[in-house]
Chain A
């Protein structure tokens, strides 16, 4: 709606309202309540029309509201201008607003009539208003209604009360039929509507029934002898429910916007698409909402219930809104929602955010899983490499040194008798070879404890305890064998913990306890030393925590100053 048109509409409304107010002045006049009622009704339709125009620029609803307002207000304003031509034209055109009202009701909520039949009904309404208006004017003498003589009906052909009354009754009967048809159509609209539109129709049905009843009762079909205050002042106040319809739909859209926002905030991260659809449908108030995804092969769309959806042909009364280009998701919703582009955009954005969140979460989880797996592989590869190194040392250097020692021993025994000096020289070489063997053995054991591979945790932990420089007891250690990575991790925990006890704890004693629980292995090393160890501090504990984490476990260090240290590794274990 452009500015000039809006200014014209507003100026016209002010002028008409001014005329009515002037006619009603002073407020003590007997016409004042009736004219005030007319003023309020007419202006409320015009204001609702302007607001609806603003809100739904592409819809005719705003125009229809405005037209109803004008058709209601202008005739009464003209009648009160004390000008014969205006008086005549005003009275002639008094019935048209009813036709516009019927059009508004039938066009709700899209602003368009749904069928040719409905167009016919609306045309019949306008024609009936024109025909009966003109016919009535030909026989209506203003004095019938107690108008002063100054009121002049320019179209009066023959002043006849009975003819005019008969015309009135006929007009009422035609109005009754037409109103009945319009109400029936509106109820059918409501019953065939779904989702968003169906709920939008509910207030219309109630309001239409009320307005229809008012139109029929004041229309003359039953010839009720109503006072002019009732028929022109009080009964028409029912019409105020018309603009209320606009207010109600505005409030509903706003409420839905808020609800969509709140629902997305409340939606837990990574919720499945079905839950997302349900949440959005509930918040939006459109039970027919579908969330559909493009199939990976691009061959079509499936909604969350597994139903095939064609975005190019969403079905009658349905509309499609893409969520995001990238996600290949679309929302299929009630066509009535297209009236609320902001609401549907917000819904699409919310869906997009939630889907993106879920996608990112899945991606991060997948990446984390990859990183975990690769870390575990790295540690396993490291372990395998250490086992290989240890075996190479054992099969190679150690055997050669043993062989060398043996040869040196033989040489020494032979040389001892002939040349004692040579004998003692060979003896010292033999001693060196033995030292080298001992060192090599310790080196190999440090690289990988063969006893762990050979006997499992029982022997390996016993070996650690035997070589621990601090008095250490084993409280429990399972005899079962576990996967190599788990055994190695448990072993390194105990090994590192006992090394720390020896180096830092100033402890008198330590305890090792390894227990198997369903699904996990709990490794615990405690001492009675000075405490104060921190996993962030020593690189040893840090590295150990990494090592435990590589098999999905957790390392806990409890080391209050002066209270000993308790190291606990909780390792997942089948």
Chain B
């Protein structure tokens, strides 16, 4: 299934459940997402409420903050993992204030399809944010570009990464963000064929298994970048 960014037709509206403990932000999100053509079916203030809503509403996408009451640590993340376990078809975007990758890997460890990890400030860019929701709903993985760019920019010694060309690095970063070859081609103004060539080359340089499907290669690339 291929869904493009932007408002969808009313009958195809995505059903979204939001979990955010700050009232102001929760209501703001509800409004923004509704304005963007999404169906905000429910909004929860904590993890328990979120799980109940998901069970009751069977949404397409869940949008949850990581830190929520009562302990303000990783309730949202735990809820996201549980949702994935109990309702594997439900796409989940975790909204985080952490650039750190620990939670990201916890989240991706199972099946990275339909998983998103975006920094909280992304909500300001409504179009991009809505696009991310559509992408996870379509089964893609969405990793915040800032998180990826930090991983790519890490200093390394004697790493094959240093042998990559600038183009290859750009392709690598977009792969890590969860983009498909087609999306990468569109973003970098290349033909899909060229993208495929770059992917093949850089996989060979990094010693990664070629031919991994989009959703598998996100994890492979991220793991490579993180170590």
Contact = CB atoms under 8 A, between A and B. Distances in A.
Contact of A451 (B100, B121, B125, B154): B100
Interface stretch (B67-75, B197-205, B208-216): B67-75
Given A394-B67, A467-B150, A441 B123 contact: no
B22 interface: yes
Contact of B97 (A398, A455, A463, A468): A398
Nearest to B157: A471
A135 interface: no
Residue among A455, A466, A470 with most chain B CB within 10 A:
A466
Interface in B127-146: 127
A458 B100 CA distance: 11
Nearest to A410: B32
A337 to B, nearest CB: 72
Contacts of A394: 67, 72, 97
Secondary structure class of chain A's binding surface, majority of residues: helix
A466 B123 contact: no
Contacts of B123: 402, 405-406, 409
A403 interface: yes
A471 B155 contact: yes
Contacts of A391: 72
A156 B140 CA distance: 148
A470 B102 CA distance: 20
Interface stretch (A72-80, A227-235, A307-315, A431-439): A431-439
Contacts of B102: 451, 454-455, 458-460, 462-463
Contact of A430 (B24, B124, B155): B124
B52 interface: no
A437 B146 CA distance: 13
B124 A408 contact: yes
B177 to A, nearest CB: 17
B225 to A, nearest CB: 9
A413 interface: yes
A466 B97 contact: no
Interface in B44-78: 67, 72-74
B19 to A, nearest CB: 14
A434 B146 CA distance: 12
Nearest to A470: B155
Contacts of A508: 157
Interface in A62-116: none
B124 A406 contact: yes
B51 to A, nearest CB: 20
Interface string B66-110: 010000111000000000000000000000011111110010000
Contacts of B98: 450-451, 463
Residue among B22, B97, B103, B155 with most chain A CB within 10 A:
B97
B21 to A, nearest CB: 8
A466 B150 contact: yes
Residue among A398, A451, A460, A469 with most chain B CB within 10 A:
A451
A453 interface: yes
A484 B28 CA distance: 36
B126 interface: yes
Nearest to A431: B124
Nearest to B147: A466
B35 interface: yes
Contacts of B154: 466, 468, 471
Given A394-B67, A469-B155, A470-B155, A406 B150 contact: no
Contacts of A470: 155
Contact of B29 (A406, A430, A455, A469): A406
Interface string B1-31: 0000000000000000000001011001101
Contacts of A402: 25, 120-121, 123-124
B101 A403 contact: no
Nearest to B98: A451
B121 A437 contact: yes
A462 B100 contact: yes
A466 B124 contact: no
Contact of A409 (B101, B124, B157): B124
Nearest to A444: B97
Contacts of A408: 124
A430 to B, nearest CB: 6
Given A394-B67, A467-B150, A471-B156, A406 B25 contact: yes
Contact of B103 (A407, A430, A437, A455): A455
A154 to B, nearest CB: 122
A407 B28 contact: yes
B74 A509 contact: no
B219 interface: no
B151 interface: yes
Interface in A353-399: 391, 394-395, 398-399
A436 to B, nearest CB: 9
Given A391-B72, A462-B100, A410 B155 contact: no
Interface in B164-196: none
B124 A405 contact: yes
A508 B156 CA distance: 9
Contacts of B155: 468-471
Given A399-B25, A471-B157, A466 B101 contact: yes
B203 to A, nearest CB: 23
Given A441-B99, A470-B155, A403 B126 contact: no
B101 A463 contact: yes
A406 B30 CA distance: 11
7 contacts: A405-B121, A405-B123, A455-B102, A455-B103, A463-B100, A463-B102, A508-B157
Top 8 nearest A-B pairs (CB, nearest first) are: A459-B102, A405-B124, A463-B100, A409-B124, A471-B157, A399-B22, A471-B155, A406-B28
